[in-house]
């Protein structure tokens, strides 16, 4: 596929995503104080002087699987924020995608995957095993945020 065509196609899709986020999270009305997840994720301008996670150039160069992974991550963040904004985060069964990502887990990780990864990292960071105490404390805090301190 021609790179220019792909770039234009991705721009159109990203603009639709931005409108969809506004519709989902803010009932279609974006106010100046509203913060979009989209702005944290994407930058469409050629001069990338934002703190966005992905520039247009990066997205164009990704494989289909990488691109789909970015879209899944973005979607998870949008819905997590929606549930959080509406006081439904705990009821939704969703876990904070940022914490999951920091732990090296996919945004749709379940309780079993979280516990398994926690045990792996706890062995690595536990001070009694020569690990970093600060990292271990951070891991414990992340685990408590994800699973509410359960088993």
| Cβ atoms of 78 and 24 closer than 8 Å | yes
Q: Is the pLDDT assigned to residue 149 strictly greater than 60?
A: no
Strand partners, 42: 54
- Provide mean pLDDT across the span 3-20: 88
Fold of the domain built from segment(s) 95-151 = Helix Hairpins (1.10.287)
Helix (H, G, I), strand (E, B) or coil at 17: helix
Q: Name the segment(s) of the chain with CATH classification 1.10.287.110.
A: 95-151
Q: Which of these, 106, 103, 115, 107, lies nearest to 148 by C-alpha position? A: 115
- How many whole angstroms separate alpha carbon 145 and alpha carbon 100? 10
- How many whole angstroms separate alpha carbon 43 and alpha carbon 33? 20
- Cβ atoms within 10 Å of 18's Cβ, excluding its own: 18
Q: Which of these, 126, 123, 149, 148, lies nearest to 137 by C-alpha position? A: 126
pLDDT for the residue 91: 65
The residue ranking higher by pLDDT, 123 or 50, is: 123
Strand partners, 54: 42
pLDDT for the residue 49: 64
User: What's the whole-model pTM score?
Assistant: 0.74
- How many whole angstroms separate alpha carbon 122 and alpha carbon 44? 39
Q: Is the pLDDT assigned to residue 78 strictly greater than 50?
A: yes
The residue ranking higher by pLDDT, 56 or 50, is: 56
């Amino acid at each position: 596929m021609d790179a220019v065509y792909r770039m234009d196609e991705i721009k159109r899709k990203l603009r639709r995503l931005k409108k969809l986020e506004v519709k989902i999270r803010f009932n279609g009305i974006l106010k100046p104080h509203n913060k979009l997840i989209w702005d944290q994720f994407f930058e469409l301008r050629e001069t990338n002087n934002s703190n966005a996670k992905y520039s247009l150039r990066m997205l164009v160069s990704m494989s289909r699987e990488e691109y789909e992974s970015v879209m899944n991550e973005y979607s998870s963040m949008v819905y997590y924020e929606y549930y959080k904004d509406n006081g439904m985060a705990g009821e939704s069964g969703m876990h904070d995608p940022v914490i999951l990502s920091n732990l090296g887990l996919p945004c749709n990780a379940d309780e079993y995957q979280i516990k398994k990864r926690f045990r792996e990292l706890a062995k690595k960071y536990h001070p009694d095993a020569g690990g970093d105490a600060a990292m271990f404390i951070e891991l414990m805090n992340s685990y408590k945020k994800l699973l509410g301190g359960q088993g």
